[in-house]
Amino acid sequence: MICGVCLKESPQLWQLTDLISVSFQAVGLCRHCQRKFHFLKEENVCPACCRRQKNKTCCTDCQKWRHFYPEKAPHEALLVYNEALASWMESYKFRGAYHLRFSFAQNIQQALSKLQDCVFVPIPLSPQRLQQRGFNQVTGLLAGAGLPYTELLVKSAETTPQSQRTRQERLQLPQVFQINPRITLSCQKVILIDDIYTTGTTLVQGQKALQQAGFQVVKTFSLAR
Ligand SMILES: [Zn+2]
Ligand SMILES: [Zn+2]
């Protein structure tokens, strides 16, 4: 296996599950690089958004959401957004290191495969952003994990990136997501997926668009929180 982060080759101990998932074994994460990332553990997170904290009570962010949008679906995240994740994301998303879609493939596969009676819907990019980046980082992660997904949402015109807005501005944003008119689905249960959960605004906007079209967002999911 070649480590997608440090690009060193490391010997691999094969397990039974690897036989099913050989495709994402070629470019993974070596043990050294793995140690820089922190997986969120259920006992230390907010039960509504997976934010890392010292207890299991609902965090202040989610208490606000309960007030503004009580229907907000529970959120699950895999990793803590730490320095290593930020630098990984910079390479993957902004420097075109598309091979990094395999880094957490097994973890994503494990987390989502238990929800297979639902349709996986990625947060879309606008056409301009997609052309600029060359790929949608969220569909990349799902494809890397060998999971089927449906691009049920589309995003219209590009606006100022979320990261350049204040929290208040983000909460007041107009709807930017629409239902893809070319897709018909019989399943109404949806898991909405993004790469990072920061304020939850993007996922809430996606959830609102889906709910208005009659879909039920069972859960939202992100690689990092
Ligand atoms: Zn490495
Ligand atoms: Zn929370």
Enumerate the domain spans of the chain: 1-35, 38-224
Q: 7 in the Ramachandran plot: left (φ > 0), alpha (ψ -120 to 50) or beta?
A: left
63: CA distance to ligand 2 center in Å? Answer: 7
Q: Rounded to whole angstroms, how far apart are CA atoms 142 and 124? A: 13
Q: Rounded to whole angstroms, how far apart are CA atoms 11 and 219? A: 37
140: CA distance to ligand 1 center in Å? Answer: 20
Residue whose token pair is 């207890």: 55
| SS3 per-residue string spanning the chain | CEECCCCCECCCCCCHHHHHCHHHCCEECCHHHHCCCCECCHHHECCCCCCECCCCCCCHHHHHHHHHCCCCCCEEEEECCCHHHHHHHHHHHHCCCHHHHHCCHHHHHHHHHCCCCCEEEECCCCHHHHHHHCCCHHHHHHHHCCCCCCCCEEECCCCCCHHHCCHHHHHCCCCCEEECCCCCCCCCEEEEEEEECCCCHHHHHHHHHHHHCCCEEEEEEEEEC
97: CA distance to ligand 1 center in Å? Answer: 14
Protein residues placing their CB within 5 Å of the ion ligand 2: 46, 48-49, 51, 59, 62
Given pLDDT bands bounded at 50, 70 and 90, which one contains residue 27?
Answer: confident
Q: Rounded to whole angstroms, how far apart are CA atoms 111 and 88? A: 20
pLDDT tens readout for residues 147-202:
999 999 999 876 666 666 676 666 666 889 999 999 998 889 999 999 999 999 99
Percent of the chain with pLDDT over 70: 86
Closest ligand to residue 103's CA: 1
What is the arithmetic mean of pLDDT over 91-98? 94
62: CA distance to ligand 2 center in Å? Answer: 4
How high does pLDDT run on average in the chain?
Answer: 89
208: CA distance to ligand 2 center in Å? Answer: 19
61: CA distance to ligand 2 center in Å? Answer: 6
pLDDT tens readout for residues 30-55:
888 889 999 998 778 999 999 999 88
Given pLDDT bands bounded at 50, 70 and 90, which one contains residue 24?
Answer: very low
106: CA distance to ligand 2 center in Å? Answer: 25
82: CA distance to ligand 2 center in Å? Answer: 17
pLDDT reading at 91 higher than 80: yes
Percent of the chain with pLDDT over 90: 70
